[in-house]
Amino acid sequence: MFRKEARTWPEAVPGFLLSPDDMLENLLTERPNPASERIDARPVEEILRIINSEDDTVPSAVAAAIPQIAKAVDAIETVLRNGGRLYYLGAGTSGRLGVLDAAECPPTFQVDSSLVQGVMAGGERALARATEASEDDGESGWRDLLEKGFSIGDVVTGIAASGRTPYVVGAMRKARELGAWTVGICCTPDSELSRAVAIPIEVLTGPEVIMGSTRMKAGTATKLVLNMLSTATMIRLGYVYGNLMVNVQPRNRKLAERGGRIIASVAGIPLADAAALLQRTGKVRTAIVMAKRGVVQTEAERMLEAVGGVLRRALET
């Protein structure tokens, strides 16, 4: 009886994009996990060890998807170098993770807040209070993207652990039809989302400890992939030298001190000299090139511009 109702109910709901093959019972993330059977009857330490053991499987699942993640980074870098922006789009946990990664880019890499944007079903109020019903609207994701200024020159990454969320899948189809770059992150093989995007990233984390609770392994995997996408892209754009954040802006005392230490370390000069250079230029990368190459500020900036802002290239050319 339950199986029959599960197959017929979504067909009666307007806006659903599901085929029988995509029903809840067939999703990898919705299957029961034998490792956590009777978890409610276990001592607390055993509960935690079961969760921890399942979490151990996530990094290998992400590693298997690295070739596709690399393709996505290449596409995102190209778009951003050409003046475009990166959008994350999702609902529920997936949407919140996208918003989180976007929010961390400005303080980490000192980029404009419009460069990486998170868009989620239900808007800002959904960040703190669940409004998951809004994810069933197959048209609203596209409307939300357009309201944020999305255009053909941008790239959008749709996030849906199930790979079937109408809010995400509908927007991805529209964006791809427009000719924009599209990336999809899901935890289900051969999903609707994967079929809707140019670059699918499938991280197969398997059944959750609590059946269907994709805030757990699937959420962890999604966070790892988003970390890789944004961090690798910013590295490629030249905002990192070695493992140092060389695009840091001296907007407060802490950041000025960090910038000075970075200049002193890379250029091999006294900290006082590094601080003076940073105060004069306001730019860590420019100050490093001046100190290392023995040039004035205008020449240092020209050298950086000639290599796309990548500090290593400016120092080695």
Q: Which residues form the catalytic set?
A: 104, 135
Q: Provide DSSP, 250-301.
A: --SHHHHHHHHHHHHHHHT--HHHHHHHHHHHS-HHHHHHHHHHT--HHHHH
Q: Residue 49 and residue 257: Cα distance in Å, rounded?
A: 42
Q: Strand, helix or coil at 33?
A: coil
* Token reading at 240: 């990192």
Residues 6+ apart with CB under 8 A from 12: none
User: H helices within the chain, ranges in order?
Assistant: 2-8, 44-55, 58-64, 66-81, 92-109, 125-128, 140-147, 166-178, 192-196, 217-236, 253-267, 271-281, 284-293, 297-306, 311-316
> What is the bridge-based pairing of β-strands 199-202 and 155-159?
unpaired
Query: Measured between alpha carbons, how far is residue 110 from residues 265, 269, 275, 280 in Å?
Result: 20, 24, 19, 19
Q: Residue 140 and residue 145: Cα distance in Å, rounded?
A: 9
Query: Measured between alpha carbons, how far is residue 67 from residues 63, 70, 125, 163, 225 in Å?
Result: 9, 5, 35, 19, 12
Q: Residue 298 and residue 278: Cα distance in Å, rounded?
A: 14
User: Do the beta carbons of residue 188 and residue 29 sit within 8 Å?
Assistant: yes
The letter for the amino acid at 171 is A
